Amino acid sequence: MLLKLAWLNIWRNKRRTIITATSVFFAVLLAIIFRSLTEGVYDNMIHNVVSYSSGYLQVHQKGYWDEQSIDNTFKEDEQLYQELLKNPNVTHIMPRLQTFALASYGEKTRGVLVLGIDPVKEKAVNNLHEKITDGQYIETVNDNAVVLGEGLASQLKLKVNDTLVLLGQGYHASSAAAKFRVKGLMKLGAIELNNSVVYMPLQQSQYMHGAEGRLTSVSVMLDKTTDLEKLKQSIQESIDPEKYEVMTWKEMMPEMDQFIEADSTGHYIIIGVLYFVISFGLFGTLLMMIFERKHELGILIAIGMKKHLLAIILLLESAMISLIGCFTGVIAGFLVIKWFSAYPIHFTGELKEVYENYGIESIIYFSSHEKIFIVQTLIVLLLSILLAFYPGYKVMKLKPVEAINS
Amino acid sequence: MLFQIAWRNIWRNKSRSLVVISSIIIGVWAGIFILSFAWGMYKNNINESVYRQLSHIQIHHPTFGEENDSKFTITNTDEKLKQFQSNAQIASVSSRVISTGMITSPTTASGVKIYGINPASEVTQIRLNEYVREGAYFETGKENEILIGEKLAKKLKVKLKSKVVLTFTNTEAEIISGAFRIGGLYRSKNISLDEVNVYVQQEHLRELLELKPSESNEIAILVKDEEQLEAIKNYSRTVVSKGKIEDWKELSPELGMIIESFNLYTYIISGIILLALTFGIINTMLMSVLERIRELGMLMAIGLNKSKIFIMIMLETFYLTVIGCPIGLLVGWLTVTVLGKTGINLSMFSEGLASYGFSSIIYPALDQEKYVIIVTMCLITAILSAIYPAYKALQLNPSEAIRKI
């Protein structure tokens, strides 16, 4: 009975209902967009950073992380690749042999990071070939050439087609030394990497280190929205735990995780203020509704309606309106985010340049985790229902005679 | 006449006007608070880099940056340092000898950047001594003492008092090795640098590199007042005429990126807040117009023409905004000023934060320019959001409107 009364009431004055529902609608929409945007910025940053460095997850020989030496490598294993790629969230895998060596050209010698990569797989993940500023990218796993960061090249004073000498430690204490033609120079976003990296086809690197068919790690790239911990679990279960260790980027780069943690704490405060503005908008609408209906409410009480029943009806009305607003808000939020995921906003001008210099895609990326939709809607719903107690409270204090005369 | 009617109208129904005024106050306040808070957060990061790592100004030999070779030096450093110290605008100055090379422990090797420092002057420069977690900050006075990061120590599997060997090339391009004993382990807030930066006594490194006395690779300057940065840069040019003088923005383009992103972020956040504000105002004004249908119909019936009704409603909103904005501005300014002194302790919200070693106290701050932007934007938003309700009022048909309850 009360439910029906409330339902009829909200449609008696459509305009008012629509206005209030719109407030809730925009509250939900804005909260979702805000969260999606802030989460999206992190997702995008993480995605870009890990695609050049560790990948979202890495599989190593057990014990490699604690002692990163070439002796802790494992044999390339087609079965492991299959096992990893079987997971639907895994988009790419990148086998790598990562070592430290001295690089010489002429009189100059520098310590460098030697990354033995599969050029084709790497290119698919981070568009490495587009970073080439001079010369060419390495094409296949056995191309006898290297590509290095511009910063390193200028320190060594070498150009494309010069010959680079690498000297390092090989597998089982053998010595690794070889000469390579420099096929291309590339500009990488991260300065440290730009000043110290030598990319080389995987097989060449394995041959030079006397570690044929061996890898230090397999990097795993995932869909941006994947639940990292869960996936780590499932990968760990599918491969031999005695032989391999699986690590997430959070474990390998704790400083980035901490930075994000620190930054997102600040966002809680910001979104708190947004909720405040939103609830005030809603409150204003409810307040106006009460002014408007004073006369009507007064008459209802005068003809014998119990005050607390009336309060409950008002509460039900607000709850219904909030539900309508929330529901449409979620749908609209979903559509907006779908739209922006399909047609992302690109930065322009100076900022675009700055971002691209850092190797970060210059787009504003919106995250579409289900969590955002659910949590934000619930919060707004809770806020609007809390606020809906106010009209009820007003009714309890209403003096019918004054109200009718107002 | 209209001005007066509008002014009286808004005070006829006080509660309704107060709702709109408060919406505006809250909008302005929220805009100011959020931006100042976000800026405080970024400023926190920037200060961390400037005061604990980069300093405001660094001076190098023009080719040192590109080649990273210790032979490109600034000569007569001692004399130049004295000149800088005598300038009252400069808070601190120090010189460094820098080389890159390899550090070797019995188990493994790693690439490092070796800083030859004068321990006493780095206490005021980057407050390096505060970072020391184990051992002491160059206390023994032995020349082969080395300070390395905890993270590097873990990687090398070495402890306090362990021996490590540094290998690097000297100015004659010969390979030099030197044995050092670990006197202290430090942990800074930038863990990735902890793995590459190691600190040794300046004199000793200078000898190993075969540099002449008083030659060094880097002079770092902290100024007292950031406003004076340009002036000090110019002054530095007179002291070190051949050096390449860079301020922190040039040294670390990442920080430039942070500031650029902040500006973009500012617009997005203010956009979202303003949207929230707009709907609050539209709703309230719309209700207020529709509530007054009878009254407006009456006004029309007695001959107030439509354009005047429109202007009247716009004026009402304008008055409300003009009352709300200064109050919001004042409240916002007070919040920023008070919190800017006391700070907001984020560790309340995230327990883990403090244990990471992040400074978790944020001091909100905002330029005057940004205040102006926010207030202007709120004003424009408020007035724009009155257009629709006012337009709605125009649609009224006087004879019908009067009959409505």
Say if residues A351 and B260 touch (Cβ distance below 8 Å): yes
Contact residues on chain B for A350, CB-CB shorter than 8 A: 260
Contacts of residue A299, Cβ cutoff 8 Å, sequence gap at least 6: A400, A404
Task: Please give the Cα distance from A102 to A118 (Å, whole number).
Answer: 22
Residue of A71, A267, A270 to mutate, testing the B interface (most B Cβ within 10 Å of its Cβ) = A270
Interface of A with B in 277-336 (CB under 8 A): 277-278, 280-281, 283-285, 287-289, 291-292
Residue of B nearest to A190 (CA): B254
Whose tokens are 């909200």? That residue is A10
Task: Pick B267 or B22 by higher pLDDT.
Answer: B22
Identify whether residues B184 and B235 lie together within a single domain: yes
What confidence score (pLDDT) does residue B199 get? 95
Q: Which residues does chain A have with pLDDT short of 50?
A: none
Chain A interface mutation, best of B251, B265, B283, highest count of A Cβ atoms under 10 Å = B283
Asked if B312 and B379 sit in the same domain, the reply is yes
The answer, for A63 touching chain B at a CB cutoff of 8 Å, is: no
Phi and psi (nearest 5°) for B96? Answer: -140, 145
Domain boundaries along the sequence of chain A: 2-49+257-405, 55-249
Residue in B272, B282, B335 to test binding to A, most A beta-carbons within 10 Å: B272
Chain A residues close to B257, C-beta within 8 Å: 354-355, 358
Question: How many domains is chain B built from?
Answer: 2
- Cβ distance of A284 and B284 shorter than 8 Å: yes
Spell out which residues of chain A touch residue B254, defining contact as CB-CB under 8 Å.
358
pLDDT at B58: 93
pLDDT in tens, B195-225: 889 999 999 999 999 988 888 999 999 998 8
- Domain final position from B191, B214, B242: B242
Residues of B in contact with A69 (CB under 8 A): 108
In this structure, what DSSP letter does residue B71 have?
T
Write the DSSP string, B258-298: HHHHHHHHHHHHHHHHHHHHHHHHHHHHHHHHHHTHHHHHH
On chain B, the residues whose CB falls within 8 A of the CB of A34 are: 269, 272
Would you state the pLDDT for residue B146? 94
Share of chain B above pLDDT 70, in %: 94
Residue A89, helix vs strand vs coil: coil
Asked if B178 and B166 touch (Cβ cutoff 8 Å), the reply is yes
Concatenated DSSP letters of B298-349: HHHHTT--HHHHHHHHHHHHHHHHHHHHHHHHHHHHHHHHHHHHH-EEGGGT
Domain annotation covers residue B56: no
Q: Which of A102, A155, A273 is opposite residue B68, by nearest beta carbon?
A: A155
CB within 8 Å: A280 and B26:
yes
Q: Give pLDDT, residue B219.
A: 92
Give the pLDDT score at B352. Answer: 52
Residue B200: partners with Cβ closer than 8 Å, 6 or more residues away = B114, B115, B116, B117, B144, B145, B146, B147, B166, B180
- Chain A neighbors of B155, CB-CB under 8 A: 68
Whether residue B344 lies within 8 A of chain A, CB to CB, comes out as: yes
B220 & B272 share domain: no
Contact B275 A263 (CB under 8 A): no
From the DSSP assignment, how many helices (H) and strands (E) are in chain A? 15, 14
Q: Is residue B295 part of a domain?
A: yes
**B181 domain residue, yes or no:** yes
Q: Does A265 sit within 8 Å of B169, measured CB to CB?
A: no
Q: What are the strands, taking DSSP E only, across A194-330? A: 197-201, 214-215, 217-222, 244-248
Instruction: Note the pLDDT of residue B52.
Output: 83
Q: Quick check: is B250 in a domain?
A: no
Any A CB within 8 A of B106 CB: no
Q: Would you call A19 and B286 a contact, using CB atoms and an 8 Å cutoff?
A: yes
The reply to whether residue A261 touches residue B277, judged by beta carbons under 8 angstroms, is: no
| DSSP labels, A288-327 | HHHHHHHHHHHHHHHTT--HHHHHHHHHHHHHHHHHHHHH
Tell whether B398 and B337 lie within a shared domain.
Answer: yes
Amino acid, single-letter form, for residue B160: L
Chain B residues 44-103 with CB within 8 Å of chain A: 66-68, 100-102
Residue A26 forms contact with B (CB below 8 Å): yes
Question: pLDDT, tens digit, for every residue of B57-81?
Answer: 999 998 887 777 888 899 888 888 9
Report pLDDT for B350. Answer: 54
Instruction: Give SS3 for A260.
Output: helix
Is beta strand B344-345 parallel, antiparallel or unpaired with respect to B90-104? unpaired
pTM over 0.90: no
A402: burial class by Cβ within 10 Å (0-12, 13-18, 19+)? exposed
- Residue labelled with tokens 């869909």: A223
Residue B9 pLDDT class (50, 70, 90 cuts): confident
Quick one: closest CA in B to A358, which residue?
B254
CB pair distance less than 8 Å for A291 and B16: yes
Q: What's the pLDDT score for residue B115?
A: 94
Residues 168-227 of A with CB under 8 A from B: 192, 195-196
Q: Which residues, other chains included, contact B393 with Cβ-Cβ below 8 Å and sequence gap of 6+? A: B289, B296, B309, B310, B313
Whole-Å CA distances, B312 to B113, B297, B392: 71, 14, 13
Contact B272 A274 (CB under 8 A): yes
Do B261 and A196 count as a contact with CB atoms less than 8 A apart? no
CA separation (Å) from B212 to A99, B117, B204, B217, B365? 36, 16, 12, 12, 47
Amino acid B110: pLDDT: 82
Looking at CA atoms only, how far is residue B333 from chain A in angstroms?
16
Taking an 8 Å cut-off on Cβ atoms, the answer to whether B272 and A34 are in contact is: yes
CA distances from residue B300 to B286, B310, B354 in whole angstroms, order as listed: 18, 11, 65
pLDDT at B358: 53
Residue from the list B37, B253, B358 with its beta carbon closest to the beta carbon of A269: B37
B308, B200: one domain = no
- Do B26 and A277 make contact, defined as CB atoms within 8 angstroms? yes
Q: Are B212 and B355 in a shared domain?
A: no
Is B268 part of the contact surface with chain A (CB cutoff 8 Å)? yes
| pLDDT recorded at residue B43 | 80
**Residue-wise pLDDT tens digits, A76-129:** 888 888 888 888 888 888 999 988 888 888 888 888 889 999 888 888 888 888
Q: Does the structure show a pLDDT above 70 at B319?
A: yes
ipTM of the complex: 0.73
> Which residue, of B242, B269, B304, is where some domain finishes?
B242
Q: What angle do CA B363, B368, B373 make, to 5 degrees?
A: 110
Q: Give residue B307's domain range.
A: 2-49+256-403
B12 and B110 both lie in a single domain: no
As a whole number, mean pLDDT of residues B115-136 equals 89
Does B356 contact chain A (CB < 8 Å)? yes
Q: Is residue B110 situated within a structural domain?
A: yes
| Whether residue B151 sits in one domain with residue B94 | yes
Q: Does B149 touch chain A (CB under 8 A)?
A: no
Per-residue pLDDT at B158 exceeds 80: yes
